[in-house]
Amino acid sequence: MKKAITLYEQGSHRWFVIARDPDKPHCLIDTNEYVITHAGQALLTDPGGLEIFPAVFSAVSEVIDPAQVGQIFASHQDPDVISSLALWLEFNPDLRCHVSGLWKSFIPHFGGDEHTLLSIADDGADIDLHGHPLHAIPAHYLHSSGNFHLWDAKAQILFSGDIGAAMLPHDQQEIFVRDFAQHIRHAEGFHRRWMGSNSAKRDWCERAAKLPIDMLCPQHGAIYQGDDVMRFINWLDELKVGLF
Amino acid sequence: MQSTQTPLRQVVNLRENIKTISTIAFQVNLLGLNAILLAKQFGEVARGFGVISTELRAFSRELAQHMEAISALSVNLVRVETQRLCLRKRHALLQQAEGRSTTDWLPQARQRQLGRLDTLHGEREQTFSAMREHLSDAYQNCLFGTVIARSARIEAAYAGAQGSTLTDTSLAFAQCVDHVLASLDRLKQATGG
């Protein structure tokens, strides 16, 4: 079963990562889900695919009552990101899902309707979590054409979707990056192929470098923290991706 | 289980009760440890209290083990309920499509979904049955805990001048056991016991 691990806690403001499922079939890509709580309400980032819903739901219920999850943030439209939406809606029909306006009419193929899906405009938006602002930051073409990351200025944590993702071998399942040089080899192929635009990547690197990020939390692989965050941004800035 | 709640909500309630009991079991363990230290400090007059506190720690560990087992079963229950939800959705979609088509394939596919639903229903009942077994053991364990908590109070009375501190501890034990019994009753109901 997936485990919920606390990343940040100050009063009621908390971040948990839901990660690593030893029982998951190898044919499914491993994903990290993040739960952000504030004053009794919670937001879930990229809740994952239909197949892993039981593991994610069980792990979430280890740390909070899942009824607190009133909002979902979908970085983009992929099935490993949001195809479990219909099941989350079965549990809480009032749930709202924030996603790029580009995908507003595509995602209802997974579940939900015009009331469920809240469009994020291209230049980003603030998402209110019971009085605490979270910032949806544009990351278009990295890799999806309508793509956002989520910045929490209080916790100094950036949920970075597919940016920072690494395809870790099954025997390397650490939650945090321990050896950057060793780790980044598992991220290189992924970024070269999936990130389509060098100019979008450069723009993202410039904006990310200005944020005081303590943890950079991708949807796949291990979390970068401390100096490894800037190491990663510099590495990505140098990397040639997509078509050029 | 109350029929007005969705199956997933029922499982969440069940897990909330498990969490409550696990937290209390942890508290009892700490109380027991503290009580053993107190008994050592008070010497001969509190020796009996020390023995009983050791028993209470053993009780809390056993209770925690039962809760871990029930918690693992509840994860399976989430999986079963999710699959039932998906199958019901597919079944409804196939039924809709059946009204607009004459192919044999659709009723056959729908029958297969019904067969899988039956299998899952059986798995669900088996999981509840396994939970009830653990609950029954935990309940017995708790009744033993009630007796020990009572004995702790009697022992506290023999502890002379130190008695009031030990009485407070024994009352805290008894309160914990009462809370566990109440949560176990709720779990018993939730699992159809």
Confidence of residue B123 (pLDDT cuts 50, 70, 90): very high
Whether the predicted pLDDT of B152 surpasses 90: no
The mean pLDDT of B142-162, rounded to a whole number, is 85
Overall domain count for chain B: 1
Task: Decide if B16 and A91 are in contact by the 8 Å CB cutoff.
Answer: no
Task: Decide if B8 and A57 are in contact by the 8 Å CB cutoff.
Answer: yes
- Residue A244: the pLDDT is 65
Nearest CA-CA partner of A45 in A10, A64, A69: A69
The mean pLDDT of A64-85, rounded to a whole number, is 97
Task: Please give the ipTM for the structure prediction.
Answer: 0.87
**pLDDT tens, residue by residue, A88-105:** 999 999 999 999 999 999
- Residue B1: the pLDDT is 43
Tokens linked to B67: 């809760």
Chain A residues touching chain B at CB-CB below 8 Å: 1, 50, 53-54, 57-58, 61-62, 65-67, 86-87, 90-91
Does residue B2 fall inside a structural domain? no
Domain residue limits at B166: 7-190
Task: Decide if A91 and B89 are in contact by the 8 Å CB cutoff.
Answer: no
Q: How far is CA B45 from CA B35, B48, B49, B60, B91, in A?
A: 13, 8, 9, 25, 70
Confidence of residue B42 (pLDDT cuts 50, 70, 90): confident
**pLDDT tens, residue by residue, B57-83:** 999 999 999 999 999 999 999 999 999
Chain A partners within 8 Å of B86 (Cβ): 50, 87
3-state secondary structure of A129: strand
* Pairing between β-strand A117-120 and β-strand A125-129 as defined by DSSP bridges: unpaired
Residue A3, classified by CB atoms within 10 Å of its CB into exposed (0-12), middle (13-18) or buried (19+), is middle
Q: Please, what is the angle between helix B7-42 and helix A53-63, to 10°?
A: 40
Confidence of residue A188 (pLDDT cuts 50, 70, 90): very high
Torsion of CA B8, A19, A171, A182, to 10 degrees: 160
Whether the predicted pLDDT of B102 surpasses 90: no
Does residue B17 fall inside a structural domain? yes
Nearest CA-CA partner of A35 in A10, A66, A80: A66
Contact A66, A57 (CB under 8 A): yes
Every domain of chain A and the residues it spans: 3-238
Homologous superfamily (CATH) of A3-238 is Ribonuclease Z/Hydroxyacylglutathione hydrolase-like (3.60.15.10)
Chain B residues touching chain A at CB-CB below 8 Å: 6, 8-9, 11-12, 15-16, 19, 74-75, 78-79, 82, 85-86, 89
Contact A128, A36 (CB under 8 A): no
Task: Decide if B8 and A1 are in contact by the 8 Å CB cutoff.
Answer: no
**pLDDT tens, residue by residue, A160-182:** 999 999 999 988 889 999 999 99
Whether the predicted pLDDT of B38 surpasses 60: yes
User: Residue A25's CB: how many other CB atoms inside 10 A?
Assistant: 8
Does residue B91 fall inside a structural domain? yes
Task: For residues B25 and B186, give the distance between their C-alpha atoms in angstroms, rounded to a whole number.
Answer: 17
- Residue B3: the pLDDT is 55
Does residue B1 fall inside a structural domain? no
Chain A partners within 8 Å of B89 (Cβ): 86
Residue B42 or residue B179, greater confidence:
B179
Whether the predicted pLDDT of B159 surpasses 80: no
**pLDDT tens, residue by residue, B78-100:** 999 999 999 999 999 999 998 88
* Residue A103 DSSP one-character state: G
- Residue B4: the pLDDT is 74
Sorted by sequence, the CB contacts under 8 Å of residue A5 that are 6+ apart come out as A16, A17, A19, A175
**pLDDT tens, residue by residue, A49-58:** 999 999 999 9
User: Residue A27's CB: how many other CB atoms inside 10 A?
Assistant: 6
Whether the predicted pLDDT of B2 surpasses 60: no
- Residue B92: the pLDDT is 92
Task: For residues A236 and A166, give the distance between their C-alpha atoms in angstroms, rounded to a whole number.
Answer: 13
Tokens linked to B47: 């020796």
